[in-house]
Amino acid sequence: MYAQMVDTGANKLRALEDMGPEERAFQERVDADVKIEPKDWMPEAYRKTLIRQISQHAHSEIVGMLPEGNWITRAPSLKRKAILMAKVQDEAGHGLYLYAAAETLGVSRDQLVADLHAGKAKYSSIFNYPTLTWADIGAIGWLVDGAAIMNQIPLCRCSFGPYSRAMIRVCKEESFHQRQGFDIMMTLCRGSAEQKAMAQDALNRWWWPSLMMFGPPDADSVHSAQSAQWKIKILSNDELRQRFVDQTVPQADYLGITMPDPELKWNAERGHYDFGPIDWDELYNVVKGNGPCNRDRLQTRVKAWEEGAWVREAALAYAEKRAARAQKAA
Ligand code: BYC
């Protein structure tokens, strides 16, 4: 599969015969689907790529709590409030597994968090859009968690053991998240004309940004070819995006709402939906920090970190006290 990416990708890959003995042995293990574990030899670039991707993924989970967190106090019933609280809490857990997986590569969580707060680290573009109505919470679960699962299922088979294992649990939880989002959309679409219009409006605003979550087109994806050779990426950005469109359009039909894309059409010859052009300038602009909520998201994270300093200090003091007591008793 990565031969296909080499044709379109920006990077040239190294052939096995050009590698030194350690690198060749590493690549042969990857090719044989043997997991790479933290203490195994690995190329420095593989380690750096994983730290980049896993930490961006962790930051996405943490920043991703904010758009939905905004609606916990405004959820329309106690049941919806409890469900949303549990979902947002799950996202925090995903962030923690992922920071822990990144730490196995020799980077500290404090450093990763400091980079996020300094605006140096990326996180998924999607979380820089506002949640204007309750229907947005439905659209996030249905589309954003749906896109996330599409991307994360192949990551369960990626070559790095701690990342692949974290993804298995994350995917199980994400599938509940996706269903709760679809359930919200379903309730709205079966409700009053006004509620259905809210669901349509949320779809209109979240559809294109959800397609952007899969990253730039393969031809412009700088990391794809190398990540495919290392089996960090099992499917390309465009393949995953197409699968997501094919899976989601019938779900919108079932809900009785329409994707905001006049060019969307089933192509019987390809066996896939054709869809209109994506505004890549919008993605690059949001990733550069100019999305509708980038500044607000970072400020909120930094404030939460500063205001939580006393909790971290107390937890550390307690752990030290317990360790000292245990040592004395021993
Ligand atoms: N947004 O060469 P490419 C969730 C960057 S959270 C921002 O294709 P790669 C949830 C990319 O990082 C789930 N940046 O890169 C949580 C790279 O920049 P750098 C989030 C993007 O890594 C709460 C550059 O563009 N999922 O489910 O091969 C509530 C070139 O791209 C984006 C993950 O994080 C973007 N959309 O492929 C609800 C999945 N796209 O690093 C839900 C893990 C691209 O060179 N990550 N960039 O400065 C991946 O699978 C891959 O990193 C990507 C990009 C497919 C995203």
Q: For ligand 1, pick from 46, 60, 88, 208 the residue to mutate: most ligand atoms within 8 Å of CB.
A: 60
In angstroms, what is the span from residue 125 Cα to ligand 1's centroid? 8
pLDDT at 238: 98
Indicate if ligand 1 lies below 6 Å from the C-beta of 181.
Answer: no
Indicate if ligand 1 lies below 6 Å from the C-beta of 227.
Answer: yes
Q: Give the C-alpha separation, 235 to 5, whole Å.
A: 10
Indicate if ligand 1 lies below 6 Å from the C-beta of 216.
Answer: yes
pLDDT digit string (tens) for 118-129? Answer: 999 999 999 999
Q: For ligand 1, pick from 68, 84, 124 the residue to mutate: most ligand atoms within 8 Å of CB.
A: 124
In angstroms, what is the span from residue 314 Cα to ligand 1's centroid? 35
Q: For ligand 1, pick from 287, 288, 294 the residue to mutate: most ligand atoms within 8 Å of CB.
A: 287
Asked if residue 248 lies in contact with residue 143, where contact means CB atoms within 8 angstroms, the answer is yes
pLDDT at 104: 98
Rounded to an integer, the average pLDDT of 228-252 is 98
pLDDT at 13: 85
Rounded to an integer, the average pLDDT of 95-108 is 98
Checking if the pLDDT of 2 tops 70, the result is no
Checking if the pLDDT of 56 tops 50, the result is yes
Indicate if ligand 1 lies below 6 Å from the C-beta of 84.
Answer: no
CA dihedral 243, 247, 252, 255 (to 10 degrees): -160
Checking if the pLDDT of 330 tops 80, the result is yes
> What does DSSP say about strands 272-274 and 265-267: parallel, antiparallel, or unpaired?
antiparallel
pLDDT digit string (tens) for 274-306? Answer: 999 999 999 999 999 999 999 999 999 999 999
**Residue with the nearest Cα to atom 41 of ligand 1?**
52
pLDDT at 4: 38
The two tokens of residue 154 are 């192949």
pLDDT at 133: 98
pLDDT digit string (tens) for 4-52? Answer: 333 434 456 888 888 999 999 999 999 999 999 999 999 999 999 999 9
As a whole-number percent, the residues of the chain with pLDDT over 70 amount to 96
Asked if residue 92 lies in contact with residue 61, where contact means CB atoms within 8 angstroms, the answer is yes
Rounded to an integer, the average pLDDT of 225-251 is 98
